[in-house]
Structure 1
Amino acid sequence: MDKEPKTHRWLPRFTIRELLLAMVAVGAVVALFAQRQPFGRHKMLQSLDPYSTVVKICSDVGVKVQNTSSQQASGVVFGGGYCVESDSEYSELGYADATTKVMPKLLGHIRDAIESDDGEIVGSGISGSTDESVVSRFSLQYRRGQIRGVARAYAFELPEGGTRILVLMDEY
């Protein structure tokens, strides 16, 4: 009798160890992507308009300002973080008024905004006086859960008179 050879289907065969290693590898990749998912934007960054804040502070302290130029940008940065940038020049705001009246109030405003949204300030750097009555620049590092952030502001005296105020905020 002619017996035809049986055709065997080819099926991959794995050991338990190989399957376990494959599961660990897949789990590690999934965990990596789940950890890097974009997070909820800090409420403060959604509501912060540095230019309007500076103009309001100037109005509150009785300093007249005329904005000669202003640029503001915000958005998502690589890796899922957020940023806010504001660069404004004020022709009628003198540098002395900016560092003694506006910047200390801006520092307090940003500090209060961070803390009111359950943020914790974990580091700071302030250039000016120790009692914060004169502030030419500041930096506040904060965290809120797993989110980390830094808020920075600088006042520059313009050669033709007036002041430039730069505000940068990053969350990651």
Structure 2
Amino acid sequence: MLDTLRDSLPGVVLVGDSNQPVYAGCTGFAAAGPRSFFNSATGYGTLGYGLPAALGGRVAAPDRPVVAIMGDGGLQFTLAEMGSVTELDVPLIMILWNNQGYGEIEKAMIRSQVEPLGVRIFTPDFKAIAVAFGWEHTTAGDCAALSGIVREAAAAGRRLVIEIDEAGFKPVG
């Protein structure tokens, strides 16, 4: 997915929260160049970093497309920043990796033979939230669809949430 974003949007700045795609990216993703991949996937509880950091990146680099890569749990820490993006009237693309809670933590608990507790949090209607904050919303089921969606959104200068269901996402079309 990160390769698709990099290859679809020349000059893109990817800003990631603590979530599964970003964790994987920390070990195997090659950004296009310096100042192109920022994240807080350090394991120190920095949930919510991605959206405000992406807004800062968009303001600092107005000529580059910026994509926030958020998990559904992490986004709930900084939902209000969607309003800040709207108030500043800046285009921003958000990938919302939805695994119905704190999926990475749940998997670690299961691997450690710990009964998962507190990781299946309430998952709101993110489409309704996006619309309420003045963003558009769509979904992507594979990387081919994702590529077309981000190219169109960046070219049009839109604020767009692209919700991806972790359970159904296919890396190839």
Asked whether the two chains share a fold, i.e. TM above 0.5, the reply is: no
Higher normalized strand content (fraction of residues): 1
Q: Which has the higher contact order (CA 8 A, sep 6+)?
A: 2
Query: How does the TM-score come out when normalised to structure 2?
Result: 0.24
Larger Rg: 1
